[in-house]
Structure 1
Amino acid sequence: MSEHKKQDAQHQGEFPVRRREMSRRQFLSYTLGGAGAFMGAGMIVPMLRFAVDPVLQPKVEAAWVKVVEAAKITEVPTSFKFKVHQVDGWYESEPELEAWISKDKEGNIFALNPTCKHLGCTVNWNGSPEFKDQYYCPCHGAHYTADGKSLAVAPAPLDQYDLKVENGFVYVGQLGPNKRV
């Protein structure tokens, strides 16, 4: 009767269970592949963290920097240099920046950034005899009014620093778009 059961089992689609064994080659491949992936992840994760961490840090507003005494400011724009503490990712530096500071006709003090909006050259007040009482860019001939309004070549006005006067001194802060024009 046992032969009869075997034949019935084969006719119904049941086969005896066969065990699959892992060969030595497969075992070594899996083991070495897993260990290699673990070591690779151990090297890549710190590199990714190093690259991405500065991007995830919250951005801070520029600190106020004391530049000059308010009594020294006139209606004629004057260039003043100042240093700021700057952190770019993991690199810290203290670059020297420049601002053209002057008073308007009402006596309000304002500060402009001397970077030309055309191609980034540095503009100067009365830099060309052709354009008297204007900021002039020697690179491509862009020129601006005393308020920083573009008159030729440049697509936008000069940027303006936030500014405050405290205890007789002028402080500059965050650089932004020109609010005067």
Structure 2
Amino acid sequence: MSEHNNHDAQHQGEKPVKRREMSRRQFLSYTLGGAGAFMGAGMIVPMLRFAIDPVLQPKTQAAWVKVVEASKITDVPTSFKFKVHQVDGWYESDPELEAWISKDKSGNVFALNPTCKHLGCTVNWNANPEFKDQYFCPCHGAHYTADGKNLAVAPLPLDQYDLKVENGFVYLGQLGPNKRV
């Protein structure tokens, strides 16, 4: 009898194992929830790829664009307009850009972007009689030297285009910070 009491004492602290069975309602909830999540992921993944894919594409350098004959360039800055093909994500366009191209005292050709570094207005050469032989911004009075050096108001010099002269033509490339000043 003592063996029987020991055996009962050992099993008194343990609860009997109950098997839980899944109800039909739980089975349908799990099945429909899983199928809905699978279909939702099937719709969201292509949308995410569409939105993120342009960001993951490698950046390319700007292509060289033929702008003007080299013989037309003088030591006085002259405005030239040109079109570039650009791709912004999924949108392709051909905007018209402008560059002020001239020669320095050594005869080297250079091109400046006419966008003022103060607030983005367009600068013009000799546009104000007070600032002779300078680029002048009509919006807030910023002015620059022929090399694009900022003299007043603007915090930075005008940006400069990469430039090459080939087969008698001036080609413009990537826009970057001014290396002349």
Relative to the length of structure 2, the TM-score reads: 0.93
TM-superposed CA distance for 1:69, in Å, is 0.6
Q: Which residue of 2 aligns with 1:158?
A: 158
Please state if 1:96 is matched with 2:96. Answer: yes
Q: Where in structure 1 are there 5+ consecutive unaligned residues?
A: none
Q: Which residue of 2 aligns with 1:144?
A: 144
RMSD: 1.5
Give distance in 2, aligned partners of 1:16 and 1:79.
Answer: 92
Give distance in 1, aligned partners of 2:96 and 2:69.
Answer: 18
Give distance in 2, aligned partners of 1:111 and 1:104.
Answer: 10
TM-superposed CA distance for 1:40, in Å, is 1.1
Q: Which residue of 1 aligns with 2:118?
A: 118
Please state if 1:133 is matched with 2:144. Answer: no
| 1:98/1:113 contact within 8 Å kept | yes
TM-superposed CA distance for 1:109, in Å, is 0.4
| 1:84/1:97 contact within 8 Å kept | yes
Q: Where in structure 2 are there 5+ consecutive unaligned residues?
A: none
Q: Which residue of 1 aligns with 2:8?
A: 7
SS in structure 2 of the partner of residue 99 of structure 1 = strand
Give distance in 1, aligned partners of 2:33 and 2:10.
Answer: 41
Superposed, 1:41-120 pairs within 5 Å as 41-120=41-120
Give distance in 2, aligned partners of 1:118 and 1:15.
Answer: 79
Match of 2:102, as an amino acid? Answer: S
Give distance in 2, aligned partners of 1:20 and 1:144.
Answer: 83
Relative to the length of structure 1, the TM-score reads: 0.93
TM-superposed CA distance for 1:47, in Å, is 0.8
Give distance in 2, aligned partners of 1:24 and 1:99.
Answer: 74
